[in-house]
Amino acid sequence: MALTGLQGGKTQAQFGAVAADVSYVTVRLGNGTVLTLHPVTVFGVRVVAFAVPAGAEIVSATGYSGHGEISTAIPFNDPGGLATFGLWLKPGQRQPARFSGRIGSGIFDGKAWSATAYAGPWGVCVETSGGGVSGGGCVPISSGLGTSVLFWTAGTPEVVAGGSAAAQVTRLVVTQPDGTTQVRPVQVGGQKFFAFAMSAGHKAVRWAAYDSSGGLVASSTLIPDA
């Protein structure tokens, strides 16, 4: 079972395919409303869908079979935007603890930006704001993230990249056409994260992560779109 969101104006729509044993899905909203979704078949696929105001708190979605509860997802609610469903928990399965923290901030081309990581029962999400940049991304993983850029969010004139770092990573070196900067990862719960700003455009940006002894842990090259 999976749900994917789309936003249009002040409305968000969530939809997704469900397995053959799913009889119905309940969606609980923060205002106490409970929606009951009955699957319909579209082009041979059983799907459910619902729409709520953008930014409305969605507490959970639970799938049921004829024998009882199958799994429950607790989404990450982006303020004013979409809810993101990541992890689906079996009945009795322990929820991952919730943590949040700012993982990066600064001034780029005269504009302030910041990035915040949120870890919890939805997995891991990173959100950015400021400097013409707004958005982020989520991954349905609660532990075991390595060192990689998870997403980048385009703005004007900058792009903010955010990612996860392995436990041994102590610093990252980001090399852009106009210079090199060092970034320190930040611990949020049991995972390290990092974020940095780079110029919008099609010029290559290289990042490399190092441990406390100067050993290379991971590296890659990004080409942000304008």
pTM equals 0.84
Give the pLDDT band (50/70/90) at residue 171. very high
Give the pLDDT band (50/70/90) at residue 157. low
Predicted pLDDT of residue 98: 92
Q: Does the structure show a pLDDT above 60 at 133?
A: no
Predicted pLDDT of residue 226: 47
Which has the minimum average pLDDT: 78-82, 160-164, 212-216?
78-82
- The whole-number average pLDDT for the span 8-24 is 94
* Mean pLDDT for the chain overall: 89
Torsion of CA 3, 117, 197, 128, to 10 degrees: 60
Q: Does the structure show a pLDDT above 70 at 156?
A: no
Give pLDDT tens digits for 54-107: 889 999 999 999 999 999 999 999 876 789 998 899 999 998 899 999 999 998
Rounded-to-integer distance, Cα 142 and Cα 152, Å: 20
Q: Does the structure show a pLDDT above 60 at 2?
A: yes
Domains plus CATH for the chain? 4-84 (2.60.40), 99-222 (2.60.40.10)
Q: Does the structure show a pLDDT above 70 at 11?
A: yes
- The whole-number average pLDDT for the span 19-44 is 96
